[in-house]
Structure 1
Amino acid sequence: METVLQLQTVLCDESANLALRFRALFSLKHLGVNGDLKAIDAIAAAFSSESALLKHELAYCLGQTKNDYAIKPLRERLDDLNEAAICRHESAEALAAIGGADSLPLLRKYLDDPEEAVRQTCELSIAKIEYDLSEQAKNEDLQKSAFASIDPAPPLPSKMKSISELQDTMNDQSLTLFYRYRAMFRLRDIGTPEAIDALASGFADPSALFRHEIAFIFGQMSDPHSKDALLKVLADTKEDGMVRHEAAEALGSIGLPEIDEELLKYINDPEKLVRDSAIVALDMSEFEKSGELEYALIPGDVRA
């Protein structure tokens, strides 16, 4: 109990280093995944933060707990039209990660939201919940992923389609976003340089949400082969902030000194979302090079 309160104090401290707050968050997420409701409360308490980047990460972590207890604060965030779009989108996605038909009416309410990222995420989230509740989900033979995350769409079955066919499917604007995401996550699970190149083609998609998901996936993969594509996205000042932010964090997850030199250029970026992400990315890179097992604070290292 004391550990949760210490972590919450760090997480909610607006004067604390953002990277330290992220580490506190992921410590709380670990506790929340294991059913600690006080940890979930501690995460939700930080929604009072001024940082859109942090709040979006809070929503993601609440979804990954897959605990119904986290539904209420997530619904409140999605319902708050004054909240940053990046946080509302992540809240909608998190509701789908937790699952359950009870969230469908709220998600349907925002299918016509003024923010494209919100309405597209609601479309995806509805499709995921309906899929999870379907006979198809029970009967599909899906390869077990090496990634433990609860994703916005399951990968396509492993016997379906070559890399080039998956790339075509992923980029086919005539298909549903959910099915295209399924092709995207199958390419992630294949994980070869050819699959990474196929994924990188998704950076040409008209949807910022779609492009941000490509960058997120590259962060999960942490493969140096994605470096050049991510650096190009990060350097594009005309790119949407949610995409550039995700590219920065993905670069941090690769953990190479030459990438650190590039990330340092963005700690004073005009866009707060990007400069905050560069700070967190540099800390992530330090973690990747350290050999530590968990990107989190060890309870004994918590500084209130």
Structure 2
Amino acid sequence: MVTEQEVEAVGRTLLDAAQPLPARFRALFTLRNVGGRAAVRCISRGFGDSSALLKHELAYCLGQMRDAAAIPALLRVLQDPRQEPMVRHEAGEALGAIGTPEVLDVLKRYSEDPVVEVAETCQLAVRRLEWLQEHGEDPGASPYLSVDPAPPAEETDVAKLRETLLDESRPLFERYRAMFALRNVGGRDAALALADGLRCGSALFRHEIGYVLGQLRHEASVPALTAALRSRAESPMVRHECAEALGSIARDGCLEALRACAGDAERVVRESCEVALDMYHYERGSQLQYADGLCKLQASA
């Protein structure tokens, strides 16, 4: 049983800007795993931080926790034009992940936001909520234990899914469904099909491709992820997700790519490489747990 005092102690690490960013990330994912209102409160207090990467991850974790107590904080972030687009986008996605109909009108309103990443995210979130209302149930459980912004397509043929994924004339929701179906099919061919998606679509779409490739963790995607990470012409929000994917895959070649961009001019890319390097060493090492905030707390007691 985790006490509220322990949650608050882990939260202090999360909210302490003097702490190394990887330690703050580990604290964040500890709180996500613990769950509960105290954890939601701690995470929600972090949206005043200067790191767009951290705030993006705060919103992501609140969405994955699916606790309605997070809705007010996420609405404030979504509606705040001073927040970075990638943070507002993730808040919109998190509201869709929580899945309560009460946010539908707000999501519809921000589906016309002048920031394209925010608008597209809210359009997807509206479609997800409408899908839930129509089917009366959550989409099939993700094998990766994640709450996804679209249910996977029923199709399992990789060639057909790739065609849908790359067809920019199709609605974004359909392409996302193909994306998550490819992830669930898995394997080299699916990874290569997804990697092709890094060369098309909006920044939001490519950002999500990077995230999915990080979940799939197939080495066949390393060259495409590396190319996107190193491209100064690519959107920082895409490059950040490619860095985190390389940290999760943790195969040969990933370390060199992350080190090469660790001093990047874009803060979100630089910080993503820092966090990804920590993940890389975790994946390649002997640590039992990435979300080790409670372990560290107990060891220091």
Report the TM-score range of the alignment, normalised by the length of the smaller protein.
over 0.9
Residue 40 of structure 1: aligned partner: 40
> Tell me, which stretches of 5 or more residues in structure 1 are unaligned?
none
1:154 equivalent to 2:157? Answer no
The one-letter amino acid paired with 1:105 is D
Matches within 5 A, 1:32-181: 32=35, 36-135=36-135, 138=137, 144-157=141-154, 160=155, 162-181=157-176
Deviation, structure 1 residue 258: 3.5
1:3 equivalent to 2:3? Answer no
Partner SS, residue 26 of structure 1: helix
Find the partner of 2:26 among 8, 23, 28: 23
Distance 1:240 1:102, change over 3 A: same
Distance 1:101 1:291, change over 3 A: same
279-288 vs 173-182, greater mean Cα deviation? 173-182
Q: Distance in 1 between matches of 2:254 and 2:138?
A: 43
**1:221-272 per-position Cα deviation (integer Å, ceiling 9, x unaligned):** 1221111110010011100000000000000001235421221111110000
Deviation, structure 1 residue 114: 1.5
165-174 vs 37-46, greater mean Cα deviation? 165-174
Q: Distance in 1 between matches of 2:116 and 2:288?
A: 37
195-204 vs 115-124, greater mean Cα deviation? 195-204
Partner SS, residue 161 of structure 2: helix
236-245 vs 109-118, greater mean Cα deviation? 109-118
The one-letter amino acid paired with 2:99 is G
Q: Distance in 1 between matches of 2:51 and 2:31?
A: 18
Deviation, structure 1 residue 214: 0.5
Partner SS, residue 226 of structure 1: helix
Distance 1:161 1:255, change over 3 A: closer
TM-score, scaled to structure 1: 0.93
Q: Distance in 2 between matches of 1:116 and 1:139?
A: 27
Residue 256 of structure 1: aligned partner: 251
Q: Distance in 1 between matches of 2:293 and 2:12?
A: 15
Distance 1:212 1:139, change over 3 A: closer
Deviation, structure 1 residue 37: 0.5
Structure 1 segments, 4+ long, off by >6 Å, are none
Deviation, structure 1 residue 204: 1.8
Q: Distance in 2 between matches of 1:256 and 1:210?
A: 24
Q: Distance in 1 between matches of 2:290 and 2:119?
A: 31
**In 1, are the aligned partners of 2:156 and 2:185 still within 8 Å (CA)?**
no
Matches within 5 A, 1:138-287: 138=137, 144-157=141-154, 160=155, 162-256=157-251, 258-287=253-282
Q: Distance in 1 between matches of 2:286 and 2:169?
A: 44
Q: Distance in 1 between matches of 2:142 and 2:90?
A: 22
Deviation, structure 1 residue 171: 1.5
Deviation, structure 1 residue 76: 0.6
Matched residue pairs, number? 296
Q: Distance in 2 between matches of 1:98 and 1:75?
A: 12
Partner SS, residue 143 of structure 2: coil
Q: Distance in 2 between matches of 1:117 and 1:293?
A: 36
